Amino acid sequence: MKTCIECHQTKDDINFGKCVRYDDGLRPRCKNCHNAQHRERQRIRKVEDPDYAINYSMQHSMYQKNRKLADNAFLQKCRRQAVVAQKNLWAASAEYQKKHREYYKTRKERDPEYAEAQRELAKTRHHIKWKNDPIYRAKIAHRNHVRKLKIEKQFKALSSEERSAIILFYANRPKGYEVDHIYPLVHGGLHCLSNLQYLPAKENRGKSSKILPNTSIRGIES
């Protein structure tokens, strides 16, 4: 047992760093006080010497990078800490959530290569999850089944002229295009001719079940 000269708390020897300059081989300050003192010295030195701050930041980044390459456990630990920190910040700040969504939304618009990379990443994740997760496959199958039943029910409720018009609309679909519900079915949209449109396949995948701005309110369940 030893008493720290900074916080004056008596602690086990394991809470003190080793140093051969002292008779007992331990530092006079506990690890918490020693680290706090070191951080304060670094902070003051960075303020007084901007060049030191830049060099320290570069050296620290290089050290972290090399350690991540050499130590996979450290890499996984850093990733977990980053995820936890972002989740905590996300939960605590509505402003951060808004900025986060706006940044990635505008980045996809500014950078087509990034948008394409994100789409490919989403496809890869979907394929891996589809292959390895039976619960995920069951959820997708159930969702598609419910959607199919909803379309069939609404289609049967239409008149023969409206059904013929919808069949003709699907038959005349241009090559490379898909039939899209302007107001999505999951948000109460109807499977009727006034709620259908042609969209390029890639654009339709990106739209998914989103409601685009200035969408007409035609074809909505009352």
**Buried/exposed code over 29-54 (b: 16+ C-beta within 10 A; e: otherwise):** bbeebbeeeeeeeeeeeeeeeeeeee
How large is the average pLDDT for residues 17-46? 86
Find the angle CA(29)-CA(34)-CA(35) to the nearest 5 degrees.
Answer: 155
The whole-number pLDDT of residue 164 equals 92
Task: Determine phi and psi for 16, rounding to 5 degrees.
Answer: -120, 140
The whole-number pLDDT of residue 6 equals 87
| 34-42 long-range Cβ contacts below 8 angstroms, 24+ apart | 37/6
pLDDT digits (tens, 9 = 90+) for 95-154: 777 887 788 778 878 888 888 888 888 888 888 888 888 998 999 899 889 888 988 888
Question: For all residues of the chain together, what is the average pLDDT?
Answer: 84
What is d(CA 222, CA 200) in angstroms, rounded to the nearest whole number? 29
Given a cut of 70, whether residue 221 has pLDDT beyond it is no
Q: How do the domains of the chain map onto residue ranges?
A: 1-47, 133-207
Q: Distances from the Cα of 207 to the Cαs of 170, 174, 199, in angstroms?
A: 19, 18, 10
How large is the average pLDDT for residues 195-215? 81
Distance of alpha carbon 213 from the chain centroid = 24
* Contact between 186 and 165 (Cβ < 8 Å): no
pLDDT digits (tens, 9 = 90+) for 154-202: 888 889 999 999 999 999 999 889 999 888 888 888 888 888 889 988 8
Q: What is the pTM of this model?
A: 0.44
CB atoms under 10 Å from CB of 208, counted, come to 9
DSSP state of 95: H
% of the chain at pLDDT higher than 90: 7
Name the pLDDT band for 215 (thresholds 50, 70, 90): low
Find the angle CA(28)-CA(47)-CA(77) to the nearest 5 degrees.
Answer: 65
The whole-number pLDDT of residue 138 equals 92
